[in-house]
Amino acid sequence: MTPSEVDLGPLWLTLRLAGVTVIVLLIIGTPLAWWLAHTRSRARTAIEAIVAMPLVLPPTVLGFYLLVLLGPYGWIGSASQAITGSALSFTFTGLVMASALYSLPFVVQPLHSAFESIGRKPLEAAWSLRASKLDTFLTIVSPMASRGYLTAIVLGFAHTLGEFGVVLMVGGNIPGRTKVLSIAIYDHVEVLEYTQAHILSAGLLIFSFLVLLMVYTVNRRLPIHVS
């Protein structure tokens, strides 16, 4: 069997899932991390704990509750069914939502600590130079937090690549829709197709190494050392 006969569908699906998940997480994670870094609210500790939950929860537990929530009888699933005509379990959208929740701490925590180490001082300086809050965020905070963003993106992406339990629970194993790489490898191993399993696994291994290598190289060359 040659590599060309290996079904690469799961690979593209996985990359797409990880990419979309990271984008969603940056959009949600930035304001959340900002709030955590700057709020004096008492709710902060509770929110921090909730964000960290996926770190300690077995993926199957998370997957199970998500399946219930996103399915046709869950709150979110039934709302989706009313609007779009279908529930979210066993769909790509459902997978993105599940992955985002599962990888949330890997994006929020690096951003949170980046924002915290920048502190209030540069912000006050920017305000005194007539910059609005949004302007300050775009021109001062985000460049100063670039290492935090890089870490968040890589960890979020890599963590989504490797997830298995949540995906299996929420997405099932539908080729082209929810069958991601880790599940495809599992399937191959189960029917003793070790060659295909090897090709996919080695591919993922090399890809992960290259990504991390690139990140560390870029990180070393970044001009800003905030922390």
Partner 1 sequence: MSELTARFNVVFPSFHLKVKASVPAEGITVVFGPSGCGKTTLLRCLAGLERAPDGFLALGEQVWQDEAHNIFLPLSHRPVGYVFQESRLFPHQSVRSNLLYGWKRIPKSERRISLDQVVGILGLDSLLERRPTHLSGGEQQRVAIGRALLTSPRLLLMDEPLSSLDVQRKREIMTFIQRLDKEFRIPIIYVSHALHEVVQLARTLILLKEGSVAAIGPLAEVFSQVGSRRVIPDSHIGAVIDTRVAGHDVEFGLTTLTFSGGHLSVPHQHSSIGESLRVQILARDVSLVASPPAFQTSVLNVLVATVMEIGPIEPDQPFVDIKLDIGCPLLATITRKSLAILQLHPGQKVHAQIKAVALTHDSLD
Binding site for partner 1 (CB under 8 A): 121-122, 124-133, 135, 139-140, 143-144, 223-226
In this complex, which beta carbon is closest to partner 1, that of residue 129 or of residue 202?
A: 129
Residue 167 CB neighbour total at 10 angstroms:
26
Measured between alpha carbons, how far is residue 64 from residues 1, 49, 51, 89, 112 in Å?
37, 20, 18, 11, 28
What angle is formed at CA 12 by the lines to CA 218 and CA 93, rounded to 5 degrees?
100
Q: How far is the CB of 27 from partner 1 (least distance, A)?
A: 23
Question: 46-53, long-range: CB within 8 Å, 24+ apart, which pairs?
Answer: 51/104, 51/105, 51/108, 51/109, 52/105, 52/109, 53/105
Q: Which is nearer to partner 1, 65 or 137 (CB)?
A: 137
Residue 6 C-beta: closest distance to partner 1, Å = 45
In the complex, what is the shortest distance from the CB of residue 42 to partner 1, in angstroms, rounded to a whole number?
A: 17
Residue 26 beta carbon to partner 1: minimum distance, rounded to whole angstroms: 20
Residue closer to partner 1 by CB (options 85, 223) is 223
Give the nearer residue to partner 1 in terms of CB position, either 7 or 135. 135
